[in-house]
Amino acid sequence: MVLVDGSAGRSDPEAAGFSRIVDALAQLESRPEVSLDQVPAPTRLATHGVALSADVLDGDEELGSGRFVLLYEPDGHEAWDGDYRCVTFVRASVERDVADDPMLPAVGWSWLREALEAQGVTLRALGGTVTAVVNESFGTMAGEAAGADVEVRASWTPVVAHDQAPEAEMARHAQAWVDLLCTSAGLAPLPDGVVALPRPRART
């Protein structure tokens, strides 16, 4: 996977630094069930941006999908309380009885917090929602089974210490999003001693 900085073409130091972050995101580790791709990043929210989409597949069945957007404003953004902002979305199929469980939102939010904690990242201004979505079919589609999804929307401000490389830190935040997607989709944790493989870079 080769990622392209949405602000490519600029030669200032901030753009060069963000390009290193983009390169780091291209090396994200993911499981064989997860397909990662770059998608267009929003262009009006920040000076720099990069976005990823992901799908979790079990054969031909889609278990979940998501999107990760990293925004960077070199002069900082008052609403973010920082220079960077992660904006994420995860959707995964769940059983109907799971969707009806009133504890699902709290459990879904705990998946996010655990994924961030597991990566050892520092952040502030974390906020979001967890929603259970139930789909009922009617009319000519009345015979189809009811479906249910859990959706996690969250955003936060990464905190990068002066002695830390921003590209390494942003990769950890993105990796937490991938881990959240895998958990939401019901993938069992990898056994101890087994590591996910980095995504191969596409040949140009």
Question: What's the confidence (pLDDT) of residue 10?
Answer: 47
Characterize the bridge pairing of strands 197-198 and 29-30.
antiparallel
Tell me the pTM: 0.84
pLDDT under 50 in the chain at which residues? 1-11, 191, 193-204
Q: How many structural domains is the chain composed of?
A: 1
Residue 5 lies in a domain: no
Residue 1 lies in a domain: no
pLDDT of residue 202: 33
pLDDT at position 85 is 97
Q: What is the pLDDT of residue 59?
A: 86
Containing structural domain, residue 29: 13-187
Long-range contacts, stretch 107-110, CB < 8 angstroms, 24+ apart? 108/150, 108/152, 108/184, 109/152
In a domain, 203, yes or no: no
- The answer to whether position 81 is within a domain reads yes
pLDDT per residue as tens digits for the range 90-130: 999 988 888 889 999 999 999 999 999 999 999 999 999 99
pLDDT in the model for residue 145: 67
* pLDDT on residue 21: 94
> Does residue 78 fall inside a structural domain?
yes
Distance of alpha carbon 20 from the chain centroid: 19
Residue 73 falls inside a structural domain: yes
Residue indicated by tokens 């979305």: 89
Q: Please report which residue ranges of 28-165 form alpha helices under DSSP H.
A: 96-99, 104-119
- The answer to whether position 201 is within a domain reads no
Question: For the chain, what is the mean pLDDT?
Answer: 84
**198 located within any domain:** no
The whole-number pLDDT of residue 1 equals 43
